Amino acid sequence: MSMIDRPERGNRNGVDSFVWAGRVVELKRHLADAPDEFVARCTRRYAAAGYGDVGFSEAQSWRNSWPALVELCERAGLADWTIYLEYGTPGGSSRFDALLLSSAPDGRSVLTIVELKQWTDTTVLSDLRVLRSDGVEAVHPVNQVKAYLAFIENWSPSADLRCRGVVLLHNAEAKETASLSGGQTEIPVLGKAALQADVPEEALRKRLGLSGHRPPHERQVSAMTDIVWRPGRKMLDSLSSVLEKNSAFILIGDQQEALLKINAAIDRALRSGQKAVIAVGGGPGSGKTVIATRVLAHLAGRADVSPLYLSASGTLRKQMQQAAAGVEGARDLFRGTDTALSPGGASRRVVLLDEGQRLIWRPPGSGPLNHIIGRSQAVVVFLDERQVIRPKEGVTVEEIGDHARHQRAEFEMISLSGCFRCGGSRAYGGWINDLLYETPSPWIGADYDLGASRDPRQLQSWIDSHVDRGSPSRIAAGFCWPWGEARDPLPEDVAIEWDDDAGVRHGWSAPWNARRATAEAPVSQFWATGRNGHRQIGCVYTAQGLEYDYGGVIMGGDLVRRGDRWEARPGKSHDKDLMHLDRDRYLPLALNIYRILLTRGMKGTRIYSTDPETQTFLADLIPANGG
């Protein structure tokens, strides 16, 4: 009987972090007797574990690769070893295609990570990337396994747990596997030849680095079933040091006072055992993410805490992972808000939830916020209620308090009143709020460089001039143009035409930020900070939570000024989550989106609208210093 058929055995994650576990010989029987039923059951368990729905191609890859894996194990004499399929790391940031558990000659537990590929023809671009035969760039499988090994090393609760890795390309010829191996032997890359009947069992075991290993003992299987992955002390100490020394995370003004209040509330929760929820509210540039990072650095240096950073923003998570890139294993500390947290270790867990307003709304007692509070000792939620940008998102401070009280947690609210973006200009922040939500007035401020550009060409010239002087500068726009596939050169999807004062027609175009990195552009998550990002146009999803010295904003036709009010035009949007909304539901989201875009520039902003009437309205309010 496989482990998933034994109801009395479970994983401390509440749901199993794998889709199936048992002996290799049991897996062979399932695949032989009822393969479609077995795969269907695994897809249901995959969804139950919080990894989402399994697409057709993924399910097909299981059908194709699992039998090959079983055949490899049988030929190596591993039929009685324990195997885990689709084993997920905490939060699902990584999934191992398969794990094999064995007992080493010295009695220690050994995990062998198996990365399965159906590839037959690839081009190795570097140690990190390969080009598949379908033209898609992918992570080099050897590098992929190295990252998995680093996770085990840095998150394992036991120093006695060893780990190895192997890549199995069951359709590949020897030439292909040799190319991917690149001469290294630490992580074997096996192909069709390993599955041939004439390969001796011991030779195959030796190739896998598993000579002398035996099936695991029952106690080793139980320990693996009940394992709770936690960040190791060495990794946390390294992360704390890296973040503490990062000059981008220096606190000023009321940020320092907020940090002290947050740390004090967390200390009380850990000492008393009474759950705590702290909501930290502030507008653009108030320092929410900076404070979250400093709290994380502080907690990472404590031996009695297991910290996590969660955010609904994929861009922000990538940026945080980049900030900690020098610390092996730290990547898994930064996760999405749909993370499934294990009950184990909840009394030590402190969650920092950034961009909290982007949580999907659910009533108290349900949803992701309820889950996070229930599985943590302290939760700090950083939010700005006017940065809700999708129809199903939107959690308020009041609702956070309701969730806290439902869990009988102490609730505290901390407000950040400072503004350390936009040159620290309170006048500009107030002017933007008046422009979008209240009664607009002419800009008369002298502490921020604001102007209206007469056309996108002038706007681009202004951005380029600042980039040439060494100032990080970007153009962001409303999502009012299609977003094409990434290729070299990138398609210039953001195309605008206009008439000058003499009635002469002009045109300008530029590409969106790239879906994946190309020779000329960083991947979209690093558009705001990567090399050559100024040559692409960003959107709210790549700009939110980030900043640059000078920002250009193109207002598309989805938000226009008519008379004394703003009007929404959802039909002009190309955002699949928004374009089908009615005007009343679209309007507040559009206003929030442009508020975000208009508050990214630390030193200056230029605005341009593709709608002539709106452009005239803006020009009447803002000085015409577009260049």
Do 198 and 333 reside in the same domain of the chain?
no
pTM (global) more than 0.75: no
pLDDT number for residue 263: 92
How many angstroms separate the first and last alpha carbons of the chain? 73
Do 477 and 396 reside in the same domain of the chain?
no
pLDDT number for residue 11: 41
> Splitting the chain (627 residues) into consecutive groups of 10 residues, what average pLDDT does each group show?
39 62 96 95 84 86 96 95 88 80 94 95 88 83 89 76 94 92 91 87 92 94 83 69 65 78 94 96 83 88 88 85 77 83 82 92 90 95 92 92 96 80 70 95 90 96 96 97 82 94 94 85 88 93 90 98 97 96 97 96 95 97 74
Classified as helix, coil or strand, 361 is: coil
The domain boundary residue, chosen from 225, 254, 278? 225
Residue 253 CA to residue 257 CA, distance in Å, equals 8
Do 220 and 142 reside in the same domain of the chain?
yes
Burial group, residue 505, by CB count within 10 angstroms (0-12, 13-18, 19+): exposed
Q: What is the CATH number of the domain that holds 345?
A: 3.40.50.300
Do 35 and 68 reside in the same domain of the chain?
yes
Q: How far from 158 is each of 102, 224, 227, CA to CA, in Å?
A: 15, 11, 9
Q: Is residue 469 part of a domain?
A: yes
Do 128 and 165 reside in the same domain of the chain?
yes
Do 188 and 242 reside in the same domain of the chain?
no
The answer to whether the beta carbons of residues 348 and 304 sit under 8 Å apart is: yes
Q: What is the CATH number of the domain that holds 437?
A: 3.40.50
Q: Is residue 277 part of a domain?
A: yes
Do 87 and 122 reside in the same domain of the chain?
yes
Q: Say how many domains are in the chain.
A: 3
Q: Is residue 87 part of a domain?
A: yes
Do 450 and 386 reside in the same domain of the chain?
no
Do 407 and 436 reside in the same domain of the chain?
no
Q: Is residue 208 part of a domain?
A: yes
Q: Is residue 627 part of a domain?
A: no
Do 405 and 457 reside in the same domain of the chain?
no
Per the listing, tokens 């709020």 go with 433
pLDDT number for residue 8: 26
The domain boundary residue, chosen from 201, 225, 249? 225
The domain boundary residue, chosen from 416, 439, 467? 416
Q: Is residue 477 part of a domain?
A: yes
pLDDT number for residue 50: 64
Q: Is residue 17 part of a domain?
A: yes
Query: Whole domain around residue 270: which residue ranges?
Result: 233-416
Do 74 and 171 reside in the same domain of the chain?
yes
Whether the link from the prior residue into 90 is cis, omega within 30° of 0, is: no
Residue 397 CA to residue 419 CA, distance in Å, equals 20
pLDDT number for residue 611: 98
Please state the φ and ψ torsions of residue 498, each to the nearest 5 degrees. -155, 160
pLDDT number for residue 562: 97
Q: Is residue 209 part of a domain?
A: yes
Do 370 and 449 reside in the same domain of the chain?
no
